[in-house]
Chain A
Amino acid sequence: MTEIVEKAGKGVLVIGGGIAGIQSALDLANSGVQVYLIERGSTLGGRMAQLDKTFPTNDCSMCILSPKLVAAARHPKIKLLTMSELIELDGEAGDFQAKVLKVPRSIDESKCVGCGLCIDNCPVMLAPQIDDTVMEPQVQDKEYLDELLGKNSNFANPIVQVMLAVNDKYRYLPKDVLEYLSFKMEMPLSEIYRLATFYKSFSLEMRGTYHVKICMGTACHVRGARRILDRVRTVVDKFGDGIFSIETVNCLGACALGPIIVVNEEVHGHVTNDDVDKTLTGLGNAESTGAEGGVEVSGGGDE
């Protein structure tokens, strides 16, 4: 270990090379101040580099971060001290004395071009130095999920099949179940959510006691499915949450009966606006009065 003594003069020491540290360092350096940016890890970037998107604009985080990384590394007024830690700080505002411990990198930084060849050829593999011990998430139907995972283990990647079964069982994808699947299958939760939003069979919201599917296939379209959909919406809006949910599907393959609506699993063919009124209003009224009268309503919509 070598001791480097630097006379900082009018300098500022910034601790931590995350986005906040980098931005502070850049702002200070741009105002002409000499900056020392110390970071415990081997690279700058911190948490933000691990994120996909940032709140609230959903901007890509690397798109924001990487120009700043380059600017910080190139700035003549910023001195980077990576793999370094502050071990002592004396003095008062305007006159500090800092002692920084720099761990050896064992690589000549002036010559390294970052080609990565040494990494590929190194015979020793070390686990990444991040705390990745994740607690097993709590979930209501653990046995069911474990059994489901076991049943689908003959697929190389069973995630979509498992999610389909979960969606069928709960009528949506509960958050705790997805977290449990993410843990068990060692798959990032973000990827699971990406699947959940990409495929139409999945729902992140609990479906109603009566799930109404309206076929919007071409055969139903030319027979007036659009008007049926409008009418279903109008009728359903009269009732409270949890009773009805609506889904449009692109063809149920029962084109002879078009236009078609399916309420839970029951198919209603050749429907007119009037049929929609009668069927749905009837179901909705029965459900609302049942709930008001304190009668337990069947189905998982009210747990």
Chain B
Amino acid sequence: MKFDKPADLEAYRKTIVDEKDPNRSIITICGGTGCIASKCGELIDAFKAELANQGLEDSVSLRITGCHGFCEKGPLVVIYPERIFYPLAKAKDVPRMVTETVIGKKPIEELLYVDPGTGEKIIYEYDVPFYKKQNRIVFANNVEIDPRNIDDYIGLGGYSALAKALTMTPEAVIEEVTRSGIKGRGGAGFPTGIKWGFARKAAGEQKYLICNADEGDPGAYMDRSVLEGNPHSVIEGMIIGAFAIGASEGLAYVRSEYPLAVDNLDIAIDQARESGLLGDNILGSGFNFQLKIYRGAGAFVCGEETALIASIEGKPGEPRQRPPFPAESGLWGCPTNINNVETWANIPHIIAKGADWYASIGTEDSKGSKIFSLVGKINNVGLVEVPIGTPLRTVIFDIGGGIPNGRKFKAVQTGGPSGGCIPEQHLDVPIDYKDLTALGSIMGSGGIIVMDEDTCMVDVAKYFIGFTLDESCGKCTSCREGNARMLEILEDITEGRGTMESLELLDELSTYIKDISLCGLGKTAPNPVLTTLRYFRDEYEAHIKDHACPARVCTELIWFEIDPETCTGCTLCARKCPVDAINGEKKMTHVVDQDICTRCGTCYQVCRFNAVQVLTGGGK
């Protein structure tokens, strides 16, 4: 179908809604990258076979959706209309799920989710604390939509915001977005409406619109999940933005590590074009907008807008000096507006429900909700969408379910390699652009990496500097050379060669790198070092003064010993040791030969009696 006017779209939506049977059984399987990695493919095949087997293909639908966010428990199955929830679903249980739940409408007791806090079994998806305590806007429809079917999106009100925007003036659309108070979700937090205003006012016939989906922060994958699970929301947001700014061409710059996101977005663009929602004369309004995908080639720095533009122009992705800002002179020298995936996906909600509704969520100066990816040493790894201003403690302990294996919380790292580590005493701070900056970290694109007492903070700082050095484009000396020297100092510390003067040198170098570098990558690179120095100085001092790694991570400062009391002489560690460093007869205490041991930790991992101990400090 092709919609020539908004009324056609509304009529079509009405038929979709009318034809929808609220009591129809639908088996929803998460098909996001996380669940694919957890082998949801086998599960889908099993369901298909079982439905065919029982002759239910016509009466029961199978819906493969994008990411539901609860990746820790993948693959996820939700059976409608009751919304019975099966986490960690296995193909062998599929016949029972079909017979007992789809047909029999009863939950299978032993497959249900168990709340680790209370030990209670939870039947329905919406009762699971992980979902219950979130406030999902952008992510709300992921569970309801087959991303490859535009009808699912239209049925839930999709493209109605576009129809509404086309009846407004471009200035009124910008005004609405400005009033909503939404800030760029990519990390810098610049007010989106104001940015659009600049691009609108910039002189030039040809203007471009770019969706930044070069999600590079390690541990952040919300943009990927939105693109994979609900690509039409991003497309709709972009068309509205293009109309407001006066852009006729758009590009979605997607990281090449995200093949599924590229595929789903590609299909969605074709569907939107065939429906008259994209391309020439959109919904009969006379407005034209073309959209295509540009695959990134694997460079973290291309998340920076000027580097991203250089990359599209076929050059190495190196940032350039601003001003001129892309709003004045961007892609091919034309005015260009760049926003992040999540920002674009928020736009249809703002236009459809109004700026006042959006501005009622969040804090005084940051409005709306934000998706965070909660990862690391946490029970419920996954994507969490909460209003901005929600305290870190709520996200980590109430939604995230705390730290696994009874370990103690140590720190939380926000904002990716540009962010910092926040210790326990600041956990009640609301997650907000301003408050996190005050702690020396940033909100960034929304990665929240939780660290427990087994994480070495010096090692974390070293990891991030290593990352930044690896991803630095090399244009600015301060970033290219400064980070290399920082890494050397941190390596010295973690290998027991550090001195107390090193700490002052780190501090000094950080200041230079921050002040001199051109783009955000270099300007924020020292944050992980500065925050760990600020909050975890004792760990640095332990490495330097006692040659000890309190978390027992830094291989040069630790060694393994086998406790004669607990060792049963089962020989497992000796057999698994890759360098034959463990000696001992069967049923006799084993001994680690320290001269041969490479400290790979295999013996520690495999010992079933906890007889292998990790020791550190005081020299050996």
Contacts and interface: CB of A to CB of B under 8 A. Distances in A.
B107 interface: no
B600 A218 contact: no
Interface stretch (A138-146, A268-276, A282-290): A268-276
A269 B578 contact: no
B258 interface: yes
Interface residues on A, range: 35 or more
A90 interface: no
Nearest to B452: A222
Contacts of A159: 314
A255 B299 contact: no
B598 to A, nearest CB: 8
Contact of A255 (B311, B316, B373, B600): B373
B315 to A, nearest CB: 8
A139 to B, nearest CB: 20
A198 B219 contact: no
B257 A249 contact: yes
Nearest to A273: B602
A75 interface: no
Greatest chain A CB density within 10 A among B37, B300, B464 is at B37
B34 A257 contact: yes
B295 A217 contact: no
Contacts of B311: 160
Nearest to B331: A156
B218 A250 contact: yes
A202 B382 contact: no
A277 B72 CA distance: 25
B257 A218 contact: no
B460 to A, nearest CB: 7
Contacts, number: 150
Given A218-B447, A250-B216, A274 B605 contact: yes
A25 to B, nearest CB: 37
Interface in A190-231: 194-195, 198-202, 216-219, 221-224, 227, 230-231
B468 to A, nearest CB: 10
B431 interface: no
A71 B398 CA distance: 75
A260 interface: yes
Interface string B581-620: 0000000000000000010111001100000000000000
A291 interface: no
Contacts of A154: 292
Contacts of A201: 256, 296-298
Nearest to B373: A255
Interface of A: 154-161, 163-164, 194-195, 198-202, 216-219, 221-224, 227, 230-231, 234, 249-258, 260, 267, 269, 272-274, 277
Given A216-B218, A250-B471, A257-B71, 13 more contacts: A164-B256, A202-B298, A221-B463, A222-B451, A224-B601, A230-B598, A250-B218, A253-B224, A255-B375, A255-B381, A256-B375, A256-B381, A274-B602
